[in-house]
Amino acid sequence: MIPGINFILNRVQKPARYVGGEWNSARKNWDSVSVKVAFAFPDTYEVGMSYLGLQILYHLVNSRRDSLMERVFAPWIDMEKEMRERRIPLFSLESQKPVGDFDIIAFTLQYEMTFTNVINMLDLAGLPLHTSQRTGQHPLVIAGGPCAFNPEPLSDFIDLFVIGEGEEVFTELLDLWISLKGKASRECFLVEASKIQGVYIPSLYEISWKDGKIRSIKPGLDEIPETVTKRVARNFDRVSFPDSPIVPTTEIIHDRIMLEIARGCTRGCRFCQAGMIYRPVREKSPTTLVAQARKLSANTGYGEISLTSLSASDYSCITEVVHQLLEELQDKKTSISLPSLRVDAFSIELAKEIQRTRRAGLTFAPEAGTQRLRNTINKGVTEEDLLTAVSAAFAAGWSALKLYFMIGLPTEEMEDIEGIVRLSRQVLEKGFSMGVSPGRAKVTVSVSSFVPKAHTPFQWEPQAPQDYLFSVQKTLKKALKEKSLIFHWHDPRVSFIEAVFARGDRRLGGALEKAWSLGCRFDGWSECFNNLLWRKAFELTGINPESYAYKRYAYGDLLPWDHIHTGVSKKYLIREHKRAMSAEATPDCRAGNCPGCGLCAELVAEPELYGGKWIAEIQDVVL
């Protein structure tokens, strides 16, 4: 234990964030393993412990006899102050050992607004911030997650990126580390690691610019691949999954069992990065899910199970699985929640099944206010679908629903904004017409600003200007004033910084480091975000952030992330972008011909579905 930790715990908010010792956490003998990994989540304990990927990798690594994984989270502002004043280094929860003593520090990058926390955690660990300054005596700093699909803004600070799903590639990296430990230099390890599919080493690639544009992205050695292709976990029904996850001793954001029922999505929403990078769809069998739920319930004591996937109601056997789980766990009065519902896949039958025990909240995501704009973004739902779905929910006993929309979408017009107001009022009126009293009825309307993301059909589109987004928010706030309508919105200034780094390149590293040095931390938290400091950081480093967020790329431009390959072809993304500009929808490949994204053929990773036959035929689609 690091001296002084117990003393400062009495001086900070929520000391449970830093003490560990939770039920099902692992305490392995430090000296009995060959490789020691610190899983670093660059946000608070409450946020990080709600991330299922942490539990999966924690279980995966600690199931090995030759490896251990311990956890570390970003210390809150008060804890950082105490640590710096007393020179206490960043430490792990399980053994309270300095993070700098581990062999590997593994960050997950879930959100661009955590990037300053990554730098802060490296500094608190006493490590050189830049990968070029680290030697064989320092831990290897790696990172994965959705933001790793455009790794360039963090390339100065991260030694190795994992592109794609981590179960298989992480195992291969640990095996390589153990095989080369004490036998090869840090540089040799990185070269060998780059040969593993899904591993990207920024220092091994050379990028050149001309007239402010990227001219080339090339490997510096012949043995390094020109493009890095993501990893996909195959045989998903048998993939490693924790049946005894850590149970926090303090309340977290998602304080419940998380049961992953599927990965991937076939819907093809053109704004959705997750829908592109996590393809193909893979489902677990109902038998596996019920067995896992039984163990999870017994080993955690939770009273709620959340069925997680990009779209839980798209799972082929969702009604059957919900029914089986409720029957299996009815004696424990365990409730089921579906955190992500498509309005065209919801039914009265499913609604009734869900509310047999405790009634959890329901959120529907129409995304846009008019059918034209929903076609543009390929959100294949109609107004009739939404009203049918909310009718099912009201009929089953719900009185409060949430609706999720985006503003600033490509081709958006004022008619689309007015459509958000009209749809929200229609949903509320539907509740009244079905007998929900005005005192109980509540419709929460949440609006976020569109952020163009890499590897999507909208990656070429600029973000809408901040003045426009603030104006739209003002219009919606004024129009949604009814007592039973609640309006929530997201700060466009935060979305702007998110867009800068989502579309950024290596030149942003200096601005990111400067923002951190000026005091930027927890930028995704409204009470911590400081727009003036970010503006100062860009100014001091000579970076024009508008040139990133507001840039409209041409199809022929070399994009900062073009050497990272998701398996989805660029021809497909271009074709989808053109269809978006004509407001043409593309059918879901579950229900028709293959749209030709290219992933199934290229990655040799076929969809894995239960309860339905995959009818899409892989075709050659000509642009």
Residue 337: per-residue pLDDT: 83
Instruction: Pick the range with the lowest mean pLDDT from 306-320, 371-385, 437-451, 608-622.
Output: 608-622
- Host H or E run for residue 531: helix 531-540
Can you tell me which residue has the tokens 């050497």?
563
State which fold the 256-490+553-588+591-603 domain adopts: pyruvate-formate lyase- activating enzyme (3.80.30)
Q: Are 125 and 100 in contact (CB under 8 A)?
A: yes
Q: Which two tokens stand for residue 427?
A: 């949903």
Convert the pLDDT of each residue in 38-93 to its tens digit. 999 999 999 999 999 999 999 999 999 999 999 999 999 999 999 999 999 999 99
Q: Which CATH architecture has domain 5-229?
A: 3-Layer(aba) Sandwich (3.40)
Q: Which distant-in-sequence residues (6+ apart) come within 8 Å of 539 by Cβ?
A: none
Residue 614: per-residue pLDDT: 44
Length of the chain measured in residues: 623
Convert the pLDDT of each residue in 315-348 to its tens digit. 989 888 998 998 888 888 888 887 766 776 666 6
* Cα 218-233-613 angle, rounded to 5 deg: 120
What's the average model confidence in pLDDT over 517-531? Answer: 98
Convert the pLDDT of each residue in 348-402 to its tens digit. 677 777 766 656 667 889 999 999 999 999 998 899 999 998 998 888 888 999 9
Q: What are the extents of the domains in the chain? A: 5-229, 256-490+553-588+591-603
Residue 201: per-residue pLDDT: 98
Distance CA 415, CA 398 (A): 30
Q: Which distant-in-sequence residues (6+ apart) come within 8 Å of 114 by Cβ?
A: 42, 43, 74, 523, 524
| Exposure letters 214-225 (e unless 16+ CB within 10 A, then b) | beebebeeeebb
Assign 318 to helix, strand or coil. helix
Asked whether residue 211 carries a pLDDT value surpassing 90, the answer given is: no
Q: Which distant-in-sequence residues (6+ apart) come within 8 Å of 505 by Cβ?
A: 152, 153, 207, 214, 560
* Cα 501-575-455 angle, rounded to 5 deg: 25
What is the pLDDT of the chain when averaged over all its residues? Answer: 92
What's the average model confidence in pLDDT over 508-526? Answer: 98
| Omega cis (within 30) before 242 | no
Distance CA 112, CA 143 (A): 13
| Exposure letters 504-541 (e unless 16+ CB within 10 A, then b) | bbbbbbbbbbbbbbeebbbbbeeeebbeebbeebbeeb
What's the average model confidence in pLDDT over 413-438? Answer: 95
Convert the pLDDT of each residue in 251-260 to its tens digit. 999 999 999 9
Residue 618: per-residue pLDDT: 34
Banded model confidence at residue 103, pLDDT cuts 50, 70, 90: very high
Asked whether residue 292 carries a pLDDT value surpassing 80, the answer given is: yes
CA-closest candidate to residue 248, choices 413, 95, 396, 50: 50
